[in-house]
Structure 1
């Protein structure tokens, strides 16, 4: 690829000499990608390159786009998907403020899942607003909760997480890398407020003897996770081989209830024998 031609597309030829050679190469690498999936974003990237203040953001945006490119499938070496400009620009703008590799990977997945055949689907705006509101600690909590919960398929086709996923504060410290329990409690309250963990049982219970929180993900969390993996599939398809049906869940509960009843009967019988 002709270097000057690539830089001209971004409108940064006048400042090309001031741009790091590694950044130049990265710009050329995403030039064709953006031309195909979100051409209006070329101007936004060009502005970042020309502005010294925004230059740091440019590196973050490029890293996110490189990750996104790796998450999209090409058909016969040709990309046939496009991102709605409103979403593509918003993702680039927000991800450029992030230098955390873990969170950038989530933005990349969201960008990839925003690409559709006609480029007119704007549903991911819901998830842009959610993701930009998450702290790194909250993003880690959600990832853990979604990956470790049981997912239930109901006859109507909807999927929800099993109602309970309790985690001790010590485990949450490991998950988040945060050692302050008060901050973790605030993070949980915020997730609760955003509708990403249960509104009634999510977060620490102040009256309990142990600091244990229910971080079971809501349906919105499940959907956010899928989109941030680069997929636009619905939960019943995305996890089709890992779901438990409502019927199976009810049978499981019945078996547990029978075992508990049998244990209580044995205890009662043992007490009766001891009295005799």
Structure 2
């Protein structure tokens, strides 16, 4: 059993020691959605424990049936009925088995996913039931939802990813990690074989650790897309490792420039056969607007940095004394392929691009040798800052 002492102690402290520690709790604001293939019916939660839940409902199901169960705040059920497309991320979904029939409802036993520590589950259920602060309740829902998702993807090997939530990261980084996981889960949930989706445990932990440093919404969505692309049906591979390493060096302003270049390039060519025949150029004003940087010198530094990461096709010419009024942000083939995976494209990166990416990563913080291009000698020294800092 892996060590979850830190996370357990932290979660115990959220609810008062004066609260009763009986196995069953009667939450006042907890509701449920349940059904066979989807959450078809609603019910109130009469009581809950680490082993199961009793739903107050007139609906009867056969004893022994395994159903889908979603727990969320009771008032959120009403909001979702009024606005079906606006679902809260403060929900947890799990399988449950019907174990008894009561006069006023049914008793269900939780079917915990492989890899979920039973004591940790017990602690988190207790907090959801006993906490009264809305913000803390929502945080608990999101954390438990993330842990369930990690267990779904990695099963018995999910511990490394789970432990990231137990004190290894700052609270701000944990919030970003959870955001990435929930965004990815929502995307993967639409896949017809979601129940069979798996991720390589080492890659999942590395991706979530690297992505947790992102605070910008644009970057968070790129990380979530890369997580989606890293999940396979009945398989788990770490082929997106180099994409994780590249994305970990992209800041929010650089990401917006890179995304713009990729979107404009892909609008004119086939995604399956990308050849940058027509360059993507932006004016200084467009670059300042997209990157949200008023400094007129930063676009040139950002494009040069993206070039040395291997994501753009052209190196910015620092030798010219002319006023810069146009920037070439044409993405490279590597830039396009990494971008596609940050949008959920689940094919392996070609071997030649993997080697290209590794070369760029090895050289990114080393001063490049002088290069000759169009009879010019650029002398750029890569000083771009990473989007993350070391612990």
Normalized against structure 1, the TM-score is what? 0.71
Q: Quick check: 1:143–1:225 contact (8 Å CA) kept in 2? A: yes
Residue 307 (structure 2) aligns with: 192
In the alignment, structure 1 residue 180 sits paired with structure 2 residue 292? no
Q: Which has the higher strand share?
A: 2
Residue 164 (structure 1) aligns with: 279
SS at match of 1:29: helix
C-alpha distance 184-61 of structure 1, shift in aligned 2 (>3 A): same
Residue 61 (structure 1) aligns with: 177
SS at match of 2:327: strand
Residue 218 (structure 1) aligns with: 332
Please list, as runs of the form range in 1=range in 2, the aligned pairs for 1:123-134 lying within 5 A after superposition: 123-134=239-250
Please list, as runs of the form range in 1=range in 2, the aligned pairs for 1:1-276 lying within 5 A after superposition: 4=50, 11=120, 20-39=136-155, 40-50=157-167, 54-74=170-190, 78-149=194-265, 150-152=267-269, 158-200=273-315, 202=316, 206-233=320-347
Alpha-carbon displacement from aligned partner over 1:17-56 (angstroms, at most 9, x marks no partner): 69922111112323332111134444443453446x6332
Normalized against structure 2, the TM-score is what? 0.52
Hey, what's the Cα distance between the residues in 1 that align with 2:293 and 2:118?
Answer: 43
Q: Quick check: 2:152–2:198 contact (8 Å CA) kept in 1? A: yes
Q: Which moved more, 1:27-36 or 1:177-186?
A: 27-36
Q: Which has the higher helix share?
A: 1
Residue 266 (structure 1) aligns with: none
Q: Quick check: 1:11–1:43 contact (8 Å CA) kept in 2? A: no
Hey, what's the Cα distance between the residues in 2 that align with 1:13 and 1:140?
Answer: 42
C-alpha distance 47-124 of structure 1, shift in aligned 2 (>3 A): closer
SS at match of 1:139: helix
CA drift at 1:158: 3.6
Q: Which moved more, 1:203-212 or 1:5-14?
A: 5-14
SS at match of 2:275: strand
C-alpha distance 204-171 of structure 1, shift in aligned 2 (>3 A): farther
Hey, what's the Cα distance between the residues in 1 that align with 2:330 and 2:119?
Answer: 44
Hey, what's the Cα distance between the residues in 2 that align with 1:184 and 1:196?
Answer: 15
SS at match of 2:331: coil
Hey, what's the Cα distance between the residues in 2 that align with 1:4 and 1:46?
Answer: 21
Number of residues of Structure 1 aligned to a counterpart in Structure 2: 231
CA drift at 1:199: 3.6
CA drift at 1:96: 1.4
Q: Quick check: 2:150–2:162 contact (8 Å CA) kept in 1? A: no
Q: Which moved more, 1:175-184 or 1:136-145?
A: 175-184
CA drift at 1:92: 0.7
* Uncovered stretches (5+) of structure 1, i.e. residues with no partner: 236-276
Q: Quick check: 1:205–1:212 contact (8 Å CA) kept in 2? A: no
* Uncovered stretches (5+) of structure 2, i.e. residues with no partner: 1-31, 33-47, 52-111, 350-391
SS at match of 1:127: helix
Alpha-carbon displacement from aligned partner over 1:111-160 (angstroms, at most 9, x marks no partner): 01000124332221121011000010111001101111254459xx7422
C-alpha distance 111-199 of structure 1, shift in aligned 2 (>3 A): same
